[in-house]
């Protein structure tokens, strides 16, 4: 399973904004969106292109456009913080949603809603900001595979080694793009040093 840690200076700056306890929800949402642009760009660096004939103001030429459709699946709730970047950056992207909540005792995912677009032959980005135990991301990957996805990249903000290991074991074909690989998990399965509960911080429900 390929793991990419995005170390762009701007990505590191916005990740620091997200990590700070004092960051307000509006600032947190804005920083998450800006960081998401960099993560989505990295997650699509290898998208196939094809040449088409166009006319510039001066002459005709062959120019590249995307040759493969794209889809983005936001894992509720925190994945919603990344969805705007995918919508604004990717032309004609189709959007799906995967509703899952964590069992606070076992940290395993509990499904409550899914809605997916056509994903066959598409590059599918799963937007799951917190890769902690890997339970919810692995579940989401299973779900999109059941619906025809074969080319899958996970877009995360922060990852923990145990979650990365689980993805390597259960989905070695899925690339993971993240802004940071953090140290470990605490006794409540939260990533350390992490940034807290991303869903709560995005939506002001702390």
Catalytic residues: 102, 106, 197, 200
Q: How far apart are the first and last CA of the chain?
A: 34
Strands 175-178 and 151-155, by their bridges, are parallel
SS3 43: helix
Chain centre distance of CA 110:
19
SS3 72: strand
What is the number of other CB atoms lying within 10 angstroms of the CB of residue 70? 22
């Amino acid at each position: 399973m390929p793991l990419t840690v995005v170390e762009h200076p701007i990505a590191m700056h916005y990740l620091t904004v997200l990590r700070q306890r004092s960051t307000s929800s509006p600032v947190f949402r804005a920083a998450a969106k800006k960081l998401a642009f960099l993560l989505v760009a990295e997650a699509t660096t290898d998208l196939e292109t094809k040449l088409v004939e166009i006319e510039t103001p001066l002459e005709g030429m062959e120019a590249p456009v995307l040759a493969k459709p794209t889809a983005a699946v936001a894992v509720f709730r925190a994945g919603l913080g990344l969805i705007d970047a995918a919508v604004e950056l990717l032309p004609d992207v189709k959007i799906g949603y995967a509703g899952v909540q964590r069992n606070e005792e076992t940290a395993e995912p509990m499904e409550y809603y899914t809605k997916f677009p056509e994903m066959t032959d598409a590059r599918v980005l799963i937007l799951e900001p917190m890769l902690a135990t890997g339970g919810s991301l692995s579940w989401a990957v299973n779900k999109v595979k059941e619906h025809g996805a074969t080319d899958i990249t996970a877009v995360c903000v922060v990852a923990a080694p145990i979650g990365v290991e689980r993805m390597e074991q259960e989905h070695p074909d899925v690339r993971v793009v993240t802004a940071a690989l953090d140290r470990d998990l605490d006794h409540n399965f939260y990533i350390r040093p992490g940034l807290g509960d991303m869903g709560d911080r995005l939506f002001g429900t702390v």
